[in-house]
Amino acid sequence: MNNKQRYSLGFFLPQRTIIHTLLAVAIAMLTSCNLAPKYCPPRIDIPDNYRLELENAAPLEFVCKTANLKWWEEFHDEVLDDLIITALGNNFDIKIAIARVDQYRAILGVVSSNLFPQVGSELNKTRQQLSFETVPPLLPQYRRFNVYSATISAAYELDIWGKIKNRSDAAYYDYLGQIEVKRTVILTLVSAVADSYVNLRKLDKQLEISKNTLKTRLESERIARLRFESGFTSELEYKQAQSETESAIIAIKRLEITIPVQENLISVLVGMAPTSIARGKILDALVMPPNIPVGLPSDLLWQRPDIQRAEDAIIASNYRIGESRAEFFPDITLTGMYGNQSSQLHNLFIGNAVTWATSANLFQPIFTGGRLLSQLELAKSVKSETVYIYCQTILNALKEVNDALISHKMNLELVIEQTKQVKIFERYRYLAELQYNNGQSDYLNVLDAERRLFESQLLLAETEANSFSSLINLYKALGGGWVIEAEHINEMLLKCTM
């Protein structure tokens, strides 16, 4: 054999060894079994309809069409649209959720890597001196020597019982569940921004009402003071007018404290330092969607990410039972090493320097002090817990939708009634002032009318905001494909900022 031929032998397993190894791996893959119990979705009774149906609920065809629509655009407020888009790109809770998804994806990669042979290479130089006390004693010139080696090693655990596969599948559903957690964060964020903006516009309207009321009361106080100074009335009426003026001032001051706090909340939600928030349409100009895609109670099972997350947890725990069962059976590992070894570096890659080794290892646990049984019981109890969490999540979802439906319907009715009440109190104040100016009634009727009108106007603004907030809560409770649409917006925005 010439030198060229001799130096071409390094780092290649003999053909027979390769064939035997491949056959062993193929047989192991074909004969592997799965000890995980068969997954059956938990059965839970879901009603055919919600307790209360909205008159403006959309038909099923509309629900299917609008599942992915961005519902916040139905309010027709560009400032709200911009705030939500900004939040999807800047909010740190979403970024944290994305980082956790990346973590679970990496964990899945680590766990799944054990399904494949682990191959490594090593280059090594060792200089060693042996003792004089060897038997037989070594001559001094042989006591010190170098060892050079260049090897490739491989190890593969035969997953006959499906332990590694079950572990990998469990990690996969953990990863899917974390994606649903991210979508839950998106759902909560969009709803929180919309609700906070509606509350801000409510406070703005209440501040406007309070300022208009203050103007009216300042005028009433001025007239009361003139009448008192002219001797037409007593000081009592003047002080009553003053007290009502102070009530309006106090209401304004409270709102002027609350509004910046609400702006700070929105700022943090959109990922900015506390600052003033732009305003779009006034509360009265926000558009109530003509149709609401409520759908059926069963739709929640695929629309809500928290329910999807709960089911992913059940499936993952199911695979972990299979992993725990496989621990009772032997672990079989194949290892191999091939390379070159020499005491002289220039002889490292010659044919005589070839070294190799193969081995098969079987490990069967015999006594573990109850550890394996406890691990299996733990896996089963975790699955039971995830099933209960899944059922409870569905019940909570049904409750949230029913609560939102009732709240939205009642608030819409309240808006109608309270609008009537405001008009009645406006007429009441007009008549009270007219009779007082004509000397037909005392000033208490005027004060009572102004007080009731002010309270009813503030309450109407509160109810109008509640009607939109309950609608937002309804969209949040229903979930829907719009969450995935918002997720796509978030991904595009993050790509633009990278």
Domain boundaries along the sequence of the chain: 34-121+161-206+259-329+377-497
Residue-wise over 177-186: b if at least 16 C-beta within 10 A, else e? bbbbbbbbbb
Identify the residue whose tokens are 């330092």.
273
Residue 194: name the closest of 81, 280, 92, 111 by CA: 81
Where does the pLDDT of residue 136 fall: very low under 50, low under 70, confident under 90, or very high at 90 and above? low
Torsion-angle region of 295 (φ positive above 0: left; ψ -120 to 50: alpha; else: beta): left
Q: Which two tokens stand for residue 277?
A: 């928030």
pLDDT for 135 equals 56
Q: Supply φ then ψ for residue 359, to 5 degrees.
A: -155, 155
Q: Which range is least confidently modeled, 120-134, 262-276, 277-291, 438-452?
A: 120-134
pLDDT for 25 equals 52
Per-residue pLDDT averaged across 17-25, rounded?
Answer: 51
Residue 401: name the closest of 313, 286, 301, 287 by CA: 301
Q: Taking the CA atoms of the chain, what radius of gyration do you get in angstroms? A: 38
pLDDT for 312 equals 97
Cβ neighbours around 196 below 10 Å, total: 21
| CA 258 from centre of chain | 29
CATH class entry, domain 34-121+161-206+259-329+377-497 = mainly alpha
Per-residue pLDDT averaged across 216-238, rounded?
Answer: 87
pLDDT for 134 equals 63
Q: Parallel, antiparallel, or unpaired for β 118-129 and 331-342?
A: unpaired
Q: Supply φ then ψ for residue 399, to 5 degrees.
A: -65, -45
Name the percent of the chain lying above pLDDT 90.
58
DSSP state of 351: G
Residue with the bigger pLDDT between 264 and 29: it is 264
Residue with the bigger pLDDT between 310 and 131: it is 310
One-character DSSP codes across 92-158 = HHHHHHHHHHHHHHHHHHHHHGGGS-EEEEEEEEEEEE--TT-SSPPPHHHHEEEEEEEEEEEEEEE
